[in-house]
Amino acid sequence: MKYCFTISLSILLIAPVCYGAAVMDSTLTTIIPSAAIVQAVSNSKNNCVINPENGSHTGLEAAFNVKTNGDDNTYDFIISSSIDTLAGTKNAYVMNNNKLYLMLANKDRLPDGDAVSDILSGSLVKNPNIIAYPVINNSVYDIKPVEYNGNLSCKILSGGQQDLNISQFVSNNPLANTYSISEDTAGVYESVIMLNVYRKP
C-alpha cells in the first residue's frame, strides 16, 4: 500500500513536467458564408380592379424583403417578371421611350405572341389581352432596368444594406394604345414578379 501511494504520487508529480515539455495548440476555425434570404411581402396592393372605361387601375405594388449577412458584393439582386401567353411564358417588362413598363396578361384568355411583339415593337397598334402600366420604384434604393441573363430585368443597388424593403409600384394609367374596351376582354390580368438573389460568378 505504501509502495502504491509512493508510485501514484510520483506519477502525479512527473505528469505536469511531461505536459510542459510538449505543448500542443489547437485552433478551431469556422467560416460563415455569405447568405441572403428573400421573402415576398403580401400587401393590399397585390390585387386591384381595372376601370373598364379607360384601363386605369386602383393601384398595384410588389413588395419584397431581402436580408443578407453583410457580404452584399457577393450577390446581384435582380427583379424579373413574367406573363403567360399562348406562345409560352414571356418577360413582362418592356421599355418604351426609355421608361419601364410592366405588362399584365389576361389569364382567362391568354394573349398571343403577336400581342407581346406589338408592345415590344414600341409602335403599338393591336395587342389584345395585354395591358402595360408604368413601373415606379417605391424603395429608397436605386432600382435600374438592366439586361440580365439576356432578359430585361431590374437591378437593385443595395448600398450595402443588410435589410432591404423593396417595392415596385405599378402606376395607375396604362401605356397608350395598350388598353382597348373592345380588344381587352374582361377577366383577370396577371404578372408574376420575382426577386432573385444571384451569386456572382
Partner 1 sequence: MRKTTKLLASLFTLSTACLCVQAETFDTQILRATLPAYVDIKAETDVQTKTIDPATGALDSGFSSVFTIQANDKVDLYLTAKADTQNGFDKAFFKKNGIVYVILTNTGKKPAASAIADIRTGTAIPSNNANAIAYPVTGVNISGATSVEPQYNDGKDQYEFSVNPGVTMATTTVSPAVDSTTYSFDDNAGTYEAHITLTDTTT
Q: Where does this chain bind partner 1 (CB under 8 A)? A: 36-42, 46-50, 52-53, 57, 60-64, 75-76, 78, 80, 82, 84, 89, 102, 104, 106-107, 131, 149-151, 170, 181-201
To partner 1, the closest distance from the beta carbon of 30 in angstroms equals 20
What's the min distance (Å) between Cβ of 139 and partner 1? 14
Q: Which is nearer to partner 1, 20 or 148 (CB)?
A: 148
Task: Tell me, rounded to whole angstroms, the distance of Cα 185 from its chain centroid.
Answer: 30
Task: Name the residue nearer to partner 1 (CB basis): 13 or 67.
Answer: 67
Cα separation, 188 vs 190, whole angstroms: 6
> What DSSP string describes 77-102?
EEEEEEEEETTEEEE-EEEETTEEEE
Identify the residue whose cell numbers are 386602383: 58
Nearer to partner 1, 9 or 52 (CB): 52
CB of 181 to partner 1, least distance (A): 4
Closest to partner 1 by CB, 96 vs 153, is: 153
Asked if residue 128 lies in contact with residue 115, where contact means CB atoms within 8 angstroms, the answer is yes
CB of 74 to partner 1, least distance (A): 9
Residue 102: CB partners within 8 Å, gap ≥ 6? 81, 92, 93, 94, 132, 133, 134, 135, 168, 170, 191, 193
We find the least distance from the C-beta atom of residue 97 to partner 1, in angstroms, to be 22
Q: How far is the CB of 60 from partner 1 (least distance, A)?
A: 5
Closer by beta carbon to partner 1, 6 or else 80: 80
C-alpha distance from residue 85 to each of 11, 113, 149, 181 (Å): 85, 7, 21, 20
- Start-to-end CA span in the chain (Å): 73
Task: Return the number of the residue (8 or 52) whose C-beta is nearest partner 1.
Answer: 52
Alpha carbons 115 and 84: distance in angstroms, whole number? 12
